Chain A
Amino acid sequence: MTVSPKPATKRVAPKTQHAGGDLRSLFLEMLRIRVVERRIAERYKEQEMRCPVHLSIGQEAVAVGVCAHLKKTDKAMSAHRSHGHYLAKGGNVRAMIAELYGRADGCCGGRGGSMHLIDRAAGFWGAVPIVGSTLPIALGLALADKRRGGDEITAAFFGEGATEEGVFTETLNLACVLGVPMLFVCENNGYSVYTPLKPRRSPNFDFENYVRSHGSLFFSGDGNDVEDVYRVTGKALGAMRAQPRPCVVEFATWRYYEHCGPAQDDHLNYRSEAEIKRWAKRDPLAIARKRLTAANPKLEAEFDAVEKRCVQEIDAVIEAVRASARPSPATLQRGVFAP
Chain B
Amino acid sequence: MSRQPQTKDMTFVEAIRDATAVCLQRDPRTFVIGLGVPDPKGIFGTTLGLAAEFGADRVLDAPLSENALTGLVIGAALNGMRPILTHQRVDFALLSLEQIVNQAAKWFYMFDGRGGTVPIVIRLVIGRGWGQGPQHAQSLSSWFAHIPGLKVVAPASPADAKGMFIASVEDESPVIFLEHRWLHGMRGPVPTGYHRAALEKCLVARKGKDVTVVASAHMLIEAMRAADFASARAGIEMEVVDVRCLNPLDFATIAESVRKTKRLLVADDDSMHCGFAGEVVARVCESGIQLAAPPVRVTWPDCPSPSSAALAEVFYPSDRDLFVAVCKLAGRGAELATEFPKRPCPVDVPNLEFPGPF
Q: Counting CB contacts under 8 A, is A108 at the interface?
A: yes
Interface pick from B102-110, B131-139, B157-165, B212-220: B102-110
Q: Mark B108-134, 1 if CB is under 8 A from A, else 0.
A: 111111111111000000000000000
- Shortest C-beta distance, B271 to chain A (Å), equals 25
How many whole Å from B54's CB to the nearest CB in chain A? 13
- The segment from B60-68, B294-302, B350-358 that touches chain A is B60-68
When the two chains form their complex, are residues B63 and A177 in contact, meaning their CB atoms are under 8 A apart? yes
Would B67 and A166 count as touching, CB distance under 8 A? Answer: yes
B76 contacts A by Cβ under 8 Å: yes
Query: A130 contacts the other chain (Cβ, under 8 Å)?
Result: yes
Q: How far is the CA of A335 from the CA of B108 in the complex (A)?
A: 7
Nearest Cβ in chain A — how far from B148, in angstroms? 5
Using A111-B111, A174-B72, A177-B63 as known contacts, say yes or no to A133 and B117 having CB atoms under 8 A apart: no
Is B81 among interface residues, defined by CB-CB distance under 8 A? Answer: yes
Which B residues are CB-close (under 8 A) to A335? 108-109, 112-113
Among A135, A136, A138, contact of B69 (Cβ-Cβ < 8 Å): A136
In the complex, B91 has a CB within 8 A of chain A = no
CA distance A143 to B81 in the complex (A): 10
List residues of chain A with CB within 8 A of the CB of B183: none
Question: Is B45 in contact with chain A by the CB < 8 A criterion?
Answer: no
Which of A118-126, A238-246, A267-275 forms contacts with chain B? A118-126
Interface flag for B80 (CB, 8 Å): yes
Point out the residue from B78, B83, B110, B119 that lies within 8 Å of A111, measured CB to CB. B110
B77 within 8 A of A: yes
Nearest chain A CB to B328's CB is how many angstroms away?
Answer: 38
Given the complex of chains A and B, what is the CA–CA distance between A130 and B98 in angstroms?
9
Check A170 against B65 for contact (C-beta < 8 Å). Answer: yes
How far, in Å, is A119 (CB) from chain B's closest CB?
A: 8
Other-chain contact of A128, B103, B108, B114, B172 (Cβ < 8 Å): B103
Contact B68 A336 (CB under 8 A): no
Chain A: number of interface residues, binned into ranges: 35 or more
> Is A133 within 8 A of B103, CB to CB?
yes
Q: Tell me the smallest distance from the CB of B37 to a CB of chain A, in Å.
A: 14
State whether B172 touches A339 (Cβ < 8 A): yes
**In the complex, A142 Cα to B75 Cα: how many Å?**
8
Inter-subunit contact B71/A112 (CB<8 Å): no
**Known contacts A125-B78, A170-B65, A338-B172: does B71 contact A140 (CB below 8 Å)?**
yes
Tell me whether B306 is interfacial, beta carbon within 8 Å.
no
Q: Are A126 and B76 in contact (CB under 8 A)?
A: no
Decide yes or no whether A325 CB sits under 8 A from chain B.
no
A337 to B106, CA, bound (A): 9
Per the bound structure, the CA–CA distance linking A59 and B24 in Å amounts to: 45
Per-position binary interface string of chain A over residues 322-339, scored 1 when its CB falls under 8 Å from any chain B CB and 0 otherwise: 000000000000011111
- CA of A171 to CA of B62, assembled, Å: 12
Of residues A111, A120, A140, A171, which shows the largest number of chain B Cβ atoms within 10 Å of its Cβ? Answer: A140
- Measured CA separation A138–B79 after assembly (Å): 10
| Most B C-beta atoms less than 10 A away, residue of A134, A137, A173, A339 | A137
**5 contacts across the A-B interface (CB closer than 8 A):** A111-B109, A126-B107, A143-B75, A171-B68, A339-B172
Q: Closest 8 CB pairs between A and B?
A: A140-B75, A136-B71, A109-B112, A170-B68, A144-B79, A338-B172, A170-B65, A137-B75
Q: A130-B102, A338-B117 are in contact. List 10 more A-B contacts (CB 8 A).
A: A108-B110, A108-B115, A111-B111, A112-B112, A118-B111, A135-B71, A136-B67, A140-B74, A170-B63, A171-B71
